[in-house]
């Protein structure tokens, strides 16, 4: 089982890389986002998910363990194969995927080419409760400067997504009261979405 690879990028396309590891070239499937972020001759370390079938052994590479974890979780959904999981990761950020699942927003997955309505719904149902630790996790937030958050805009965004204004306001107030100073708008929005999604699930179960 190949769990990771470290080597030099020998060549690339929009969908795969050839990683030279001590003279052996490994063909690794990646998202278009990953392919665009690297250049030939770069030294790379990739987390690897290996998919074994009767007629092929295919490698899928990720720059972070978070992406790899999401890839494997998406593959656990009926109807989502490795290439479909990779397409979702190419089109949606990790935070967007977690938020879409938290608020049962299957439309986010329907926007990905090759994902139909039934499969999109299965993703939100199958992964419900499994991505709560990912909501609000986004490496870009760690690098972003502190911003003055317009809480009214966050509430408006939630309302535009279909949540009642009262519920949206209460969720934003709850999140901000428990957040550290300087927490960014996107993190607050995702956390509020997670809270609203959890509340919706509890109500549905009663």
pLDDT tens, position by position, 96-141: 888 788 777 888 899 998 999 999 999 998 998 787 666 544 444 4
Q: Which has more pLDDT, 145 or 92?
A: 92
Are 162 and 192 members of one domain? yes
In this structure, how many other beta carbons lie within 10 angstroms of the beta carbon of residue 67? Answer: 22
Of 117, 134, 151, which residue is a domain's last?
134
Helices (H), 49-177: 65-75, 82-91, 94-102, 107-110, 117-127, 139-143, 151-160, 165-177
Residues 93 and 128 in one domain: yes
pTM: 0.65
Contact 39, 30 (CB under 8 A): no
The boundaries of the domain holding residue 44 are: 4-62
> For the chain, how many structural domains are there in total?
3
For residue 70, the domain's CATH number is: 1.10.150.20
112 and 74, same structural domain?
yes
Residue 43 has pLDDT above 90, yes or no: yes
- 130 plus 69 within the same structural domain: yes
Q: What is the DSSP letter of 133?
A: G
Shared-domain flag, residues 200 and 174 = yes
Given a contact cutoff of 8 angstroms between Cβ atoms, the answer to whether 158 and 171 are in contact is yes
Last residue of a domain, one of 134, 158, 192: 134
């Amino acid at each position: 089982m190949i769990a990771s690879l470290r080597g030099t990028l020998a060549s690339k396309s929009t969908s795969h890389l050839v990683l030279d590891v001590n003279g052996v070239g490994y063909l690794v499937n990646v998202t278009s986002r990953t392919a665009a972020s690297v250049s030939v001759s770069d030294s790379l370390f990739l987390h690897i998910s290996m998919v074994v079938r009767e007629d092929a052994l295919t490698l899928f590479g990720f720059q972070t363990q978070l992406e790899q974890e999401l890839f494997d979780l998406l593959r656990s959904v009926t109807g989502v194969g490795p290439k479909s999981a990779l397409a979702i990761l190419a089109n949606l950020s990790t935070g967007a995927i977690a938020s879409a699942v938290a608020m049962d927003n299957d439309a986010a997955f329907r926007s990905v080419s090759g994902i139909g309505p039934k499969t999109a719904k299965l993703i939100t149902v199958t992964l419900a409760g499994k991505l709560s630790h990912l909501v609000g996790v986004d490496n870009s937030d760690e690098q972003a400067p502190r911003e003055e958050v317009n809480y009214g805009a966050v509430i408006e965004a939630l309302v535009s997504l279909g949540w009642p204004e009262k519920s949206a306001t209460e969720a934003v107030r709850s999140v901000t009261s428990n957040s550290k100073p300087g927490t960014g708008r996107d993190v607050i929005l995702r956390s509020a979405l997670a809270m609203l999604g959890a509340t919706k699930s509890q109500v549905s179960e009663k």
